[in-house]
């Protein structure tokens, strides 16, 4: 009895899970593995379309004899790279109309012209002509003929399904001179973006945890940057930082802080001299990191605030009795209470910033030293149109991610349940 | 008498007053005032005198009379030192000063003798400044977006500092950018598409996620622990590594440039987090209620529809709002999959506007307001639900 019950339970569970699991497998897990396949292939963006045979039908009237019509089919192979095999063609004719002197590749059967064109090599073109006549010797209505579309079919190898593999993509990815630079940029962006967001989030949480007038309002607006659509916010920032008519540059020039506008998003380096040392600051990258911090500190804020509100009040009261000031209280009570959440936040935000694409793409498009790994996927795959390379970069990202996750679960996985 | 707290108090409060009045000056400049000097040093000295006078007078007078007189004196000298400015600007200075001195209510020489007073002063002013700072930094871009959409190209280029909205113009002139984006750029259609896609994603995600979350939360089956850990791991994989294979497959299946394609992808990418959030809540529902349902001869469908869903409406609302937000704001997939203007979502349409360098920026900002406003309104109205959704799902972003 119990056995059948547990069987029923199992079956119910699988039925309930199947749709969701199937969808996630198809759209999330399958592509991750498909990346491995594609990354070992030489595929360009234009190869993705499956080659197909095409025919454009042109009807020409013969003025001397209205009972006859000349049809020209402009045949071609849509692909410039791949052959198509075993091409079948068919076109229907109205009643009482027949072809005259049909091409040897074709036959006329039950009001249909059926042809067997065999193989077309890549980029094949042909003008295929047929003469038709009305058996009643009446005029042919050419509109009827024109409206009838021919049908074509053929077999072509899907370049994605062939078993030709190459290591070229990975060689290119790693041999690229800029690969180290790419990796460094990604790490700068990820690390400083994460740390900055957490520090600002901590300040904001500490602030909102006190009582003051307008506290709920403050809590709402602190989340605005995260809730707003990235497209709108990124373009607003671009506009604000614009060197020619942006508000920020205009303000700085107006108050005499800088002499001439700075292109904050388009300048790779800013040379600062501090105490006689020349420091090359990655300007555009810094600006993008600022945007990143601005947009994602609300998340850190939300987490830390939730934790702060759970800290028992009597801890602070006890500390006050012991004669601790606000600073000591923060160091000795608040900080130890939130270290767990801070480390979890750091790992999670690190992984997510590492994958960030939209923000950088919309602000700089990856120009002026802001090209990170995710931007490189896009640029290789869609700007350079090399799908194989793009996939290879994706694989590099997935590999690094798996390493991060292993570290995450080793260090924090057990602790996460305690918080 | 220790002098250290006194100096710290003087320094911090003067810095604070100087910074706040400078922020006021910047805001006034952005309303078209021609102010070009910040005068940090002189204003700092002035603030220093005010703080000193305040602490020396102590509690000898009525608080209200004291702050009004001191503020008036401060404002008088401020006007003398700084450039001529209109009345409303100076009234602003007076109000800032009143607010500041009112904040100092407790401060006198005795107060400065308390324990840890220096730290308390620092924390006090730091948090006060932080409120101003955070509010300014966060709201400014939104304000800029909003104001720019009401401006004309000429006005923007002539004086980028003038962010005032002129109320004298007639309405058609002020809302011109909005008329243009709706008439010429067809934004009505994009709002429709975005709404359909977002609401569709919410509905389909819930239909898939509720049964799955119920199974994970309640039923025993082989591979349960594996499944519940893999949910989070799958969720960690970013959209950017899915883009190329999905692009190729969708091109070959003809699913690009279709709403259905977007719906499938959005649903699949939000499903893991939806299941994760819902199963946590389902576990907190007492099992006895379900057992009662089983006694009444309900099958799993009846239990989910009649017991689980009514009891977990708040959690479902959180998930729905969170998923709606993700789908409404999504950009990467809509950039990849849509290149026919007839199928654009709002985000994609705004991105398309920037493709043409000639597009005036006020149209761009009007579009941005159109995409931002609904989600902010929804957020403010349903804040409670959305915040709990964000906290649960905010491992991603």
Which CA distances in Å does A161 have to A172, B110, B165, B211? 22, 84, 60, 36
The answer to whether B155 faces chain A, any CB pair under 8 Å, is no
Would you say B318 and B277 are in contact if contact means Cβ atoms under 8 Å apart?
yes
Confidence check: pLDDT of B395 > 60: no
Cα angle B134-A216-A328, degrees, rounded to a multiple of 5: 65
CA distance B100 to A283: 37
Helix (H, G, I), strand (E, B) or coil at A410: helix
Average the pLDDT over A14-40 and give the result: 87
B154 in A contact zone (CB under 8 Å): no
The residues, ordered by sequence, that sit 6+ positions from A346 with a Cβ below 8 Å of its Cβ are: A194, A195, A198
pLDDT of B197-244, one tens digit each?
999 999 999 999 999 999 988 888 888 888 887 887 888 888 888 998
Q: What is the pLDDT of residues A338-369, one digit of tens each?
A: 888 888 888 888 888 998 999 999 999 888 88
> To 10 degrees, what angle do helices B259-283 and B224-236 make?
130
Q: Tally the residues of chain B.
A: 397
3-state helix, strand, coil in chain A (%, to 5): 55, 20, 30
Please give the sequence-ordered ranges of beta strands (E in DSSP) within B83-227, or none if there are none: none
The predicted pLDDT at position B203 comes to 96
CA pair distance B85, B205, nearest whole angstrom: 57
Residues of A with Cβ-Cβ distance to B394 under 8 angstroms: 299, 302-303
* β-pair type (A112-120, A106-109): antiparallel
Mean pLDDT is lowest, of A94-103, A224-233, A285-294, B205-214, for A94-103
Nearest to B21 by CA among B74, B86, B87, B80: B74
User: With pLDDT > 90 as the criterion, what percentage of chain A qualifies?
Assistant: 17
Q: Which of residues 40-99 of B touch A (CB under 8 A)?
A: none
Cβ(A323)–Cβ(A226) below 8 Å: no
Q: By the 8 A CB rule, do A147 and A94 touch? A: no
CB-based contact (8 Å) between B371 and chain A?
Answer: yes
**Between these two residues, B25 and B60, which has the higher pLDDT value?**
B25
Q: Would you call A227 and B375 a contact, using CB atoms and an 8 Å cutoff?
A: yes
Say whether A394 and B244 touch across the interface (CB within 8 A): yes
Nearest-CB residue to A232 (from B139, B215, B350):
B350
Q: Can you read off the two tokens belonging to residue B195?
A: 């709404």
Contact B138 A233 (CB under 8 A): no
Other beta carbons within 10 angstroms of residue A258's beta carbon come to 11
* Rounded Cα gap, residues A412 and A93, in angstroms: 73
CB spacing of A229 vs B375 below 8 angstroms: yes
Q: What angle do CA B344, B348, B349 make, to 5 degrees?
A: 70
B70 versus A419: the higher-pLDDT residue is B70
Distance from CA of A30 to the nearest CA of B (A): 8
Predicted pLDDT of residue A73: 86
Contact between A325 and B115 using a beta-carbon 8 Å cutoff: yes
Considering only CA atoms, which of B209, B320, B199 is closest in space to residue B268? B209
Q: How far is B347 from chain A (nearest CA, A)?
A: 6
Contact B121, B9 (CB under 8 A): yes
Higher pLDDT, B62 or A204: A204
Q: Provide the ipTM.
A: 0.89
Residue range B75-87: mean pLDDT, rounded: 76
Strand order through the sheet with A68-77:
A53-61, A68-77, A125-134, A97-100
Instruction: Please indicate if any CB of chain A lies within 8 Å of the CB of B225.
Output: no
* pLDDT winner (highest mean) among A196-205, A248-257, A406-415, B301-310: A196-205
The alpha-carbon gap from A214 to the nearest alpha carbon of chain B, in Å, equals 10
Q: Percent of chain B at pLDDT above 90?
A: 21
What is the percent of chain A where pLDDT is above 70? 96
d(CA B255, CA B59): 76
pLDDT band per the 50, 70, 90 thresholds, residue B60: confident
CA distance A318 to chain B (A): 16
CA R_g for chain B = 29
Instruction: Give the pLDDT confidence score for residue A325 in this predicted structure.
Output: 76
User: Residues with Cβ < 8 Å from B34, sequence gap 6 or more?
Assistant: none
A to B CB pairs, distance under 8 Å: 286
Residue A344: partners with Cβ closer than 8 Å, 6 or more residues away: A412, A415, A416, A419
Task: Answer yes or no: are the C-beta atoms of A261 and B394 closer than 8 Å.
Answer: no
User: What is the nearest CA distance from A129 to chain B, expressed in angstroms?
Assistant: 32
Residue-wise pLDDT tens digits, B134-166: 888 999 999 999 988 888 877 777 777 777 777
3-class secondary structure, A157? coil
> What are the structure tokens assigned to A192, written together?
């400083």
pLDDT band at A414 (very low <50, low <70, confident <90, very high): low
- pLDDT above 80 (res B2): no
Q: Please give the average per-residue pLDDT across A115-132, as a whole number.
A: 82
Q: Alpha-carbon dihedral of residues B177, B182, B187, B188, nearest 10 degrees? A: 140
**pLDDT, position A306:** 86
Average pLDDT over residues A228-257: 88
Strand A125-134 and strand A68-77: pairing? antiparallel
Which among B29, B119, B371 has the least Cβ separation from residue A325?
B119
CA A361/CA A344 separation, integer angstroms: 27
CB < 8 Å to A374, chain B: 238, 240
Lowest mean pLDDT among A217-231, A398-412, B94-108, B257-271: B94-108
Measured between CB atoms, does B246 come within 8 Å of chain A? yes
Shortest CA gap A368–chain B (Å)? 19
Q: Which positions in chain A touch B365 (Cβ < 8 Å)?
A: 235-236, 239
Assess whether pLDDT exceeds 70 at residue B396. no
Contact of A265 with A258, CB cutoff 8 Å: no
Residues B266-302: tens digit of each pLDDT: 999 899 889 988 988 888 888 888 888 878 877 778 8
Task: Select the more confidently predicted residue: B328 or A99.
Answer: B328
Answer yes or no: do A325 and B116 touch at CB < 8 A: yes
Query: Which DSSP string corresponds to A274-303?
Result: ETTEEEEEEHHHHHHHHHHHHHHHHHHHHH
Residue A393's contacts (CB-CB under 8 Å, 6 or more residues apart) are A173, A373, A376, A377, A380
Q: What is the reported pLDDT for B97?
A: 84
Q: Report, at the CATH architecture level, how domain A53-155 is classified.
A: Sandwich (2.60)
Cβ-nearest to A239 among B222, B331, B361: B361
Using CA atoms, how far residue A116 sits from A86, A112, A315, B39, in Å, is 7, 13, 88, 88
A349, A296 in Cβ contact below 8 A? yes
The reported pLDDT for the residue numbered B84 is: 66
Residue B83: the pLDDT is 65
- Token pair, residue B167, equals 């109320």
pLDDT of A418 strictly over 50: no
Q: What is the spatial distance between Cα A412 and Cα A342, in angstroms, rounded to a whole number?
A: 11
* B262 close to A (CB below 8 A): no
Second CATH level (architecture) for the domain B180-393: Orthogonal Bundle (1.10)
Q: Given CB atoms, is B130 within the 8 Å cutoff of chain A?
A: yes
**Is pLDDT above 70 for A41?**
yes
Q: What percent of chain B has pLDDT over 70?
A: 96
Closest Cα to residue B354, out of A409, A102, A358, A239? A239
Q: Give the span between the Cα atoms of A363 and A343, in whole angstroms.
A: 29
Residues of B in contact with A38 (CB under 8 A): 244-245, 248
3-class SS at A117? strand
Sign of CA dihedral A228, A231, A236, A241: positive
Distance of residue A35 Cα from the nearest chain B Cα, in angstroms: 6
Q: What's the whole-number mean pLDDT along residues B28-36?
A: 76
Helix, strand and coil content of chain B, in percent to the nearest 5, comes to: 75, 0, 20
Quick check: A377 and B240 CB within 8 A?
A: yes
Bridge partners (DSSP) listed for residue A100: A131
Model confidence band, residue B369 (pLDDT cutoffs 50, 70, 90): very high
Which residue has better confidence, B16 or B110?
Answer: B16
Q: In what order do the strands lie in the sheet with A112-120?
A: A106-109, A112-120, A84-92, A151-155
Q: Kindly report the average pLDDT of chain B as a whole number.
A: 84
Please give the helix or strand (H or E) that residue B231 lies within, else none.
helix B224-236
Q: A377 vs B394: CB contact, 8 Å cut-off? A: no
Rounded to an integer, the average pLDDT of A140-151 is: 80
Q: What pLDDT is stored for residue B397 in this prediction?
A: 45
Q: How confident is the model at residue A179, as a pLDDT? A: 85
- A132: pLDDT strictly greater than 60: yes
Q: Are B331 and A231 in contact (CB under 8 A)?
A: yes
| A353 vs A362: CA distance, rounded Å | 15
**Mean pLDDT on A309-327:** 82
Tell me: pLDDT of A112 over 90: no
pLDDT of residue A409: 79
On average, the pLDDT of chain A sits at 84
**Nearest residue, CB atoms, B215 vs list A16, A218, A235:** A16
Sort out which chain A residues have CB atoms less than 8 A from B383's CB and list them. 220
Domain ranges of chain A: 53-155, 179-370
CATH architecture assigned to A179-370: Orthogonal Bundle (1.10)
Q: Do B239 and A221 touch (CB under 8 A)?
A: no
- Residue of B28, B159, B245, B304 to mutate when probing chain A, most A C-beta within 10 A: B245
- A152 to chain B, closest Cα gap in Å: 18
């Amino acid at each position: 009895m119990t056995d059948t019950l547990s069987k029923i339970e199992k079956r119910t569970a699988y039925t309930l899970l199947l749709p969701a699991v199937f969808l996630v497998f198809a759209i999330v897990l399958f592509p991750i593995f498909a990346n491995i396949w594609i990354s070992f292939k030489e595929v360009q963006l234009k190869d993705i379309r499956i080659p197909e045979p095409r025919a454009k039908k042109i009807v020409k009237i013969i003025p001397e004899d209205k009972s006859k019509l000349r049809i020209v089919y402009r045949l071609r192979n849509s692909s410039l790279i791949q052959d198509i095999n075993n091409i079948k063609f068919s076109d229907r004719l109205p009643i009482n109309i027949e072809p005259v002197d049909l091409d040897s590749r074709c036959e006329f059967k039950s009001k249909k012209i059926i042809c067997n064109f065999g193989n077309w090599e890549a980029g094949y073109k042909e003008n295929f002509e047929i003469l038709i006549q009305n058996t009643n010797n009446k005029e042919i209505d050419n509109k009827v003929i024109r409206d009838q579309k021919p049908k074509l079919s053929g077999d072509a190898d899907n370049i994605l399904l062939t078993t030709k593999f190459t290591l070229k993509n990975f060689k290119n990815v790693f041999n690229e001179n800029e690969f180290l630079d790419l990796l460094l940029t990604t790490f700068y962006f990820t690390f400083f973006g994460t740390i900055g967001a957490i520090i600002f989030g901590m300040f904001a949480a500490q602030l909102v945890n006190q009582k003051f007038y307008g506290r709920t309002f403050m809590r709402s607006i602190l989340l605005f940057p995260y809730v707003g659509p990235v497209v709108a916010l990124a373009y607003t920032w671009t506009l604000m930082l614009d060197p020619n008519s942006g508000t920020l540059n205009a303000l700085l020039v107006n108050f005499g802080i800088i002499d001439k506008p700075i292109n904050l998003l388009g300048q790779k380096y800013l040379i600062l001299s501090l105490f006689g040392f020349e420091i090359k600051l990655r300007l555009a990258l810094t600006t993008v990191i600022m945007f990143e911090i601005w947009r994602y500190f609300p998340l850190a804020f939300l987490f830390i605030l939730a934790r702060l509100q759970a800290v028992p009040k009597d801890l602070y009261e006890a500390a006050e009795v012991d004669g601790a000031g606000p600073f000591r209280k923060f160091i000795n009570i608040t900080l130890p209470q939130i270290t767990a959440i801070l480390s979890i936040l750091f790992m999670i935000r690190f992984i997510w910033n590492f994958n960030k694409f939209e923000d950088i793409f919309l602000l700089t498009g990856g120009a002026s030293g802001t090209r990170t790994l995710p931007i490189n996927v896009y640029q290789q795959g869609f700007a350079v149109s090399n799908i194989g390379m793009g996939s290879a970069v994706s694989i590099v990202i997935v590999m690094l991610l798996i390493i991060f996750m292993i570290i995450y679960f080793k260090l924090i996985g057990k602790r996460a349940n305690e918080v | 008498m220790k002098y250290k707290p006194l100096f710290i108090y003087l320094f911090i409060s003067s810095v604070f007053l100087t910074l706040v009045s400078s922020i006021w000056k910047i805001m006034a400049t952005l309303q078209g005032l021609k102010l070009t000097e910040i005068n940090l040093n002189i204003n700092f000295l002035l603030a220093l005198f005010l703080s000193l006078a305040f602490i020396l007078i102590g509690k000898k007078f009525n608080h209200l009379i004291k702050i009004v007189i001191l503020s008036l004196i401060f404002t008088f000298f401020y006007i003398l030192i700084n450039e001529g400015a209109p009345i409303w600007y100076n009234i602003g200075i007076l109000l800032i000063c009143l607010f500041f001195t009112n904040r100092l209510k407790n401060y006198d020489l005795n107060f400065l003798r308390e324990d840890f007073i220096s730290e308390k002063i620092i924390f006090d002013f730091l948090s006060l400044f932080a409120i101003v700072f955070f509010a300014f930094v966060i709201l400014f871009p939104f304000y800029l977006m909003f104001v720019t959409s009401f401006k004309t190209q000429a006005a923007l280029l002539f004086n980028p500092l003038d962010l005032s909205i002129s109320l004298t113009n007639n309405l058609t002139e002020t809302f011109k950018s909005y008329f243009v984006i709706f008439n010429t750029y067809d934004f009505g259609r994009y709002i429709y598409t975005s709404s359909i896609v977002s609401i569709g994603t919410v509905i389909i995600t819930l239909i898939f996620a509720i049964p799955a979350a119920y199974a994970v939360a309640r039923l025993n089956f082989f591979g349960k622990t594996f499944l519940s850990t893999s949910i989070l791991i799958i969720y960690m994989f970013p959209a950017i590594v899915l883009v190329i294979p999905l692009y190729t497959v969708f091109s070959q299946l003809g699913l690009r440039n279709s709403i259905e394609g977007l719906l499938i992808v959005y649903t699949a990418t939000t499903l893991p987090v939806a299941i994760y959030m819902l199963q946590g809540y389902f576990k907190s529902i007492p099992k006895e209620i379900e057992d009662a349902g089983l006694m009444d001869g309900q099958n799993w469908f009846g239990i989910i529809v009649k017991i689980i869903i009514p009891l977990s409406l708040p959690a479902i609302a959180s998930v729905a709002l969170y998923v709606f937000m993700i789908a409404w704001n999504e950009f990467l997939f809509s950039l990849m999959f849509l290149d026919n203007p007839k199928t654009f979502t709002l985000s994609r349409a705004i991105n398309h506007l920037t493709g043409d360098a000639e597009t005036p920026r006020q149209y761009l900002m009007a579009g941005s307001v159109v995409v931002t406003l609904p989600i902010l309104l929804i957020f403010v109205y349903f804040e409670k639900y959305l915040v709990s959704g964000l906290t649960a799902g905010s491992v991603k972003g």
